[in-house]
Structure 1
Amino acid sequence: MASTIFIQPSFTSKSLNKSLNTHFVPSFKLPGSVSFKPRTVSQLSVRAGLIEPDGGKLVDLHVAEPERGLKKREAAPLPRVKLTRIDLQWVHVLSEGWASPLTGFMRESEFLQTLHFNSLRLGDGSFVNMSVPIVLAIDDSQKERIAESKRVTLVDSDDNPVAILNNIEIYKHLKEERIARTWGTTAPGLPYVEETITKAGNWLIGGDLEVIEPIKYHDGLDRFRLSPVELRQEFEKRNADAVFAFQLRNPVHNGHALLMTDTRRRLLEMGYKNPILLLHPLGGYTKADDVPLSWRMKQHEKVLEDGVLDPETTVVSIFPSPMHYAGPTEVQWHAKARINAGANFYIVGRDPAGMGHPIEKRDLYDADHGKKVLSMAPGLERLNILPFRVY
């Protein structure tokens, strides 16, 4: 059985001048009998070893290889729904278990829980965090073609079958409410909204996914796209007794590198023997002015090659999720997904998942709210949040 380590660090360092800074926030209670108390790392008792995935078991929605031919034949006569590029990225996310315990695109009950509670209630009454809707939109003509069918085939831009969606449920796509609750504004110019919601159909279709083959992009970067199962295997291979994750959607700079190396030093001081860094750049949709993924990965490789980060204690992998730029709402999704990959520490900085206001000359979100929200988000109690501030 893994040992238990009680953490009482200040999370300050001379090199970063208080780069890791814990925050104390008043406690609050959700409706009902479940109480959630904001926490800092110094308040937590942490088990050494990999954290269990949400729901206790990683979801894997891939069809077994011997059955793929059969599933393609089953898919052929079914009504078809064509996936956009971002839809396909969400199929990838769901298929590998990043959103465990979700088993497919959200049905209405899951969609409503996500919008209103940022969490899902499981069958045993417990909660897991789920802050962004993972949904698939269809238009009126697609809904009419589906008719009474309980299954549909999801196809890519070339009409190749990607997955079968089973036991489907079709419900209204309340776009304005979705946008307002996810982003906190309906101002025009939100990148993900313009890309995926504004022009999308007026219906959402949910159901259980059977993904016929693993999603590949053939862009020279598939070797970096490790699934949660593969990441956990790599951490175990390296005898990790803690995993701390750091997400970037732009290149690593010296401040980031100093932060990551200093975090490992502090974890060693706490008593961990071999904490492993998961350097986990976001690899799905990003807005046009972000640095392209291919260039970010070249720079990440160079950082390891030059020894800025230690290759023995660093795993570089691509997180396949699209980017919402939804600030404190979205950062919960980023943290929750890393639990499923095996991380028990998550580094969060200034204005995570934030952006400038699309109309006014200001940030869309308060720069400190992301880390404050993570410290008290329902369903993330098992994850240790490492807030930092660089002066």
Structure 2
Amino acid sequence: MAVMSVRPHLQITQIVSQNPRIHTKATFHYNPLTRFVSLRSSMSVGGVKGRGGCSVIRSSLIDPDGGALVDLVVPERERAARRAEAEGMPKVRLGKIDLEWVHVVSEGWANPLRGFMREDQYLQSLHFNSFRLDDGSFVNMSLPIVLAIDDEAKEAIGTSPDVALVGPDGDLVAILRSVEIYKHNKEERIARTWGTTAPGLPYVDEVIAPAGNWLIGGDLEVLEPIKYNDGLDHYRLSPRQLRKEFDKRQADAVFAFQLRNPVHNGHALLMNDTRRRLLELGYKNPILLLHPLGGFVKADDVPLDVRMEQHSKVLEDGVLDPETTIVAIFPSPMHYAGPTEVQWHAKARINAGANFYIVGRDPAGMGHPTEKRDLYDPDHGKKVLSMAPGLEKLNILPFRVAAYDTVAKKMAFFDPSRAKDFLFISGTKMRSYARTGENPPDGFMCPGGWKVLVQYYESLQAEEADQQPAVLSV
């Protein structure tokens, strides 16, 4: 069997007749909420033969949004001249998260975006979650990627067509060409991105609330590849590098899994089961892209370096197969914007070459900042992905719910017929276990990975103790 994407409002026969790469007489089983089509036939898709007479799509055949991947880093031979030119331009200071967005855009994660959004792009993103391209097609773009400036910076720029972007450390990072400055309506941006203006949204508090009242858009020219020098840069593979690695491993399917938490055995069960399902569908070598988010996260999330160490232990302990798994860092900041943001997470993986995306319960969600409830409906993320404009070529794999089976004493897929036998351990509960030194049930997480978490929280508590003021007795 093979899998392809369809839109819920189109007839299946139309999809087949309009796609010259698919030739089949098929029986279709269609669920509009999962965007799966099962083909009971021998078929030709891109000419690559799969197991059992079926053909499959290689990852390299999944085109980036809008065509070729952008590469906005200035060639090395031209950098000295561009740097000298930038020295004479008006300067705009970037915050840490602004720099993360420069990184994201420069490598093509937001393809075909070539810089910070101009006003027409911003409005399309904010109101339609997509861009219309010159040929009339759409690409998904659910999050505004913008750069805010204040009144002083706007005045300093004046009528200059180009500005230099300066990093948090004062070093020249990039040039922004043919700039356009427009009003930053924060309330509208927040309301449309998060569906609420309630206080306590982490990205809003960190980035938007203190930002200036103007947005500046333009085309980016990045003077050097963005590096963080934190010992993790070798994990920060660009979409181009990932595509090369998928082809090097002869992947005929790539399924991406994003997380911002440590990997427990329930996650591993899901990822291993997904590979099994893809093999049953006729793929010969499905490759897992384990792709933790590496940009801004809220204060109580586990830091990136700890998560990466924990992930490496999961592979070392054989919970995931290193031969069929690629671990890389996705450099995007986190918004916690639920169904709006999960579209961005899926779209970016298309540009990296993934043709399958695993989506779970309440993706990119969080608890309501002022009320005791989820901010978003936990099922809306996967439903939105099945319908979102610009994501048609991505196959959505809904999360099967995993929990701790107290009878089998391991993580297993939830069986509602014996619900009382299952224990649900949330991310909050997992962190509580690690913080207090209490061990989770055997089989919840591999021992090496759990040790990393415990050591992290022990070091955190030691730091907090050191910062407590001394009490002097008189």
Query: TM-score of the superposition, structure 2-length normalised?
Result: 0.75
For 1:167-219, what per-residue CA distance to the aligned partner results, in whole angstroms no more than 9, with x for missing partners? 00000001000000000000011000000001100000000000000000011
Query: Aligned to 1:55, what secondary structure does the other structure show?
Result: coil
For 1:258-305, what per-residue CA distance to the aligned partner results, in whole angstroms no more than 9, with x for missing partners? 100110011001000101000000000000010100110001111111
Offset, 1:133 = 0.3
Amino acid at match of 2:2: F
Q: Name 1:179's counterpart in structure 2.
A: 190
Query: Aligned to 1:285, what secondary structure does the other structure show?
Result: coil
Structure 2 residue 190 is the aligned partner of structure 1 residue 166 = no
Q: Name 2:26's counterpart in structure 1.
A: none
Alignment of 1:320-331 (within 5 A): 320-331=331-342
Label 1:110 to 1:44 Cα distance change in 2 as closer, same or farther (>3 A): farther
Out of 54, 58, 62, the position equivalent to 1:49 is 58
- Partners of 1:25 and 1:372 within 8 A in 2: no
Unaligned 5+ runs, structure 1: 9-23, 29-36
Q: Name 1:6's counterpart in structure 2.
A: 2
Structure 2 residue 257 is the aligned partner of structure 1 residue 246 = yes
Offset, 1:307 = 1.1
Label 1:168 to 1:38 Cα distance change in 2 as closer, same or farther (>3 A): farther
Amino acid at match of 2:249: R
Out of 137, 148, 152, the position equivalent to 2:148 is 137
- What root-mean-square deviation, in Å, do the aligned CA atoms of Structure 1 and Structure 2 show? 1.7
Structure 2 residue 347 is the aligned partner of structure 1 residue 336 = yes
Amino acid at match of 2:146: V
Q: Name 1:190's counterpart in structure 2.
A: 201
Alignment of 1:62-77 (within 5 A): 62-77=73-88
Query: Aligned to 1:110, what secondary structure does the other structure show?
Result: helix
Out of 247, 250, 256, the position equivalent to 1:236 is 247
For 1:127-182, what per-residue CA distance to the aligned partner results, in whole angstroms no more than 9, with x for missing partners? 00000000000000000000000000000122211000000000000100000000
Unaligned 5+ runs, structure 2: 11-30, 40-44, 46-55, 402-413, 415-474
Q: Name 1:359's counterpart in structure 2.
A: 370
Structure with more relative contact order (C-alpha pairs < 8 Å, separation 6 or more): 1
Equivalenced residue count is 364
Offset, 1:59 = 0.8
Q: Name 1:87's counterpart in structure 2.
A: 98
Label 1:44 to 1:196 Cα distance change in 2 as closer, same or farther (>3 A): farther
Offset, 1:318 = 0.1
Alignment of 1:81-160 (within 5 A): 81-160=92-171
**Partner Cα separation in structure 1 for residue 357 and residue 364 of structure 2:** 14
- Partners of 1:283 and 1:321 within 8 A in 2: yes
- Partners of 2:33 and 2:382 within 8 A in 1: no
Structure 1: 4+ residue segments shifted above 6 A: none
Amino acid at match of 1:262: D
Amino acid at match of 1:66: R
Offset, 1:40 = 2.7
Offset, 1:306 = 1.2
- Partners of 1:44 and 1:384 within 8 A in 2: no
Structure 2 residue 49 is the aligned partner of structure 1 residue 40 = no
Offset, 1:44 = 6.6
Q: Which has the larger radius of gyration?
A: 2
**Partner Cα separation in structure 1 for residue 165 and residue 297 of structure 2:** 23
Q: Name 1:13's counterpart in structure 2.
A: none
Q: Percent identity?
A: 75
Amino acid at match of 1:304: L
Amino acid at match of 1:107: R
Amino acid at match of 2:140: N
Offset, 1:6 = 3.3
Label 1:132 to 1:194 Cα distance change in 2 as closer, same or farther (>3 A): same
Offset, 1:85 = 0.2
- Partners of 2:295 and 2:332 within 8 A in 1: yes
- Partners of 1:7 and 1:41 within 8 A in 2: no
Query: Aligned to 1:210, what secondary structure does the other structure show?
Result: strand
**Partner Cα separation in structure 2 for residue 308 and residue 100 of structure 1:** 34
- Partners of 2:2 and 2:283 within 8 A in 1: no
- The range that moved more, 343-352 or 304-313, is 304-313
- Partners of 1:136 and 1:206 within 8 A in 2: yes
**Partner Cα separation in structure 2 for residue 149 and residue 38 of structure 1:** 50
Out of 396, 418, 421, the position equivalent to 1:385 is 396
Out of 223, 228, 248, the position equivalent to 1:212 is 223
Amino acid at match of 1:333: W
Label 1:264 to 1:199 Cα distance change in 2 as closer, same or farther (>3 A): same
- Partners of 1:374 and 1:385 within 8 A in 2: yes
Label 1:101 to 1:152 Cα distance change in 2 as closer, same or farther (>3 A): same
**Partner Cα separation in structure 2 for residue 320 and residue 288 of structure 1:** 17
Query: Aligned to 1:245, what secondary structure does the other structure show?
Result: strand
Structure 2 residue 316 is the aligned partner of structure 1 residue 309 = no
Offset, 1:43 = 2.3
Offset, 1:27 = 4.3
Q: Name 1:17's counterpart in structure 2.
A: none
Offset, 1:387 = 0.7
Query: Aligned to 2:342, what secondary structure does the other structure show?
Result: helix
- Partners of 2:347 and 2:391 within 8 A in 1: yes
Out of 237, 261, 279, the position equivalent to 1:268 is 279
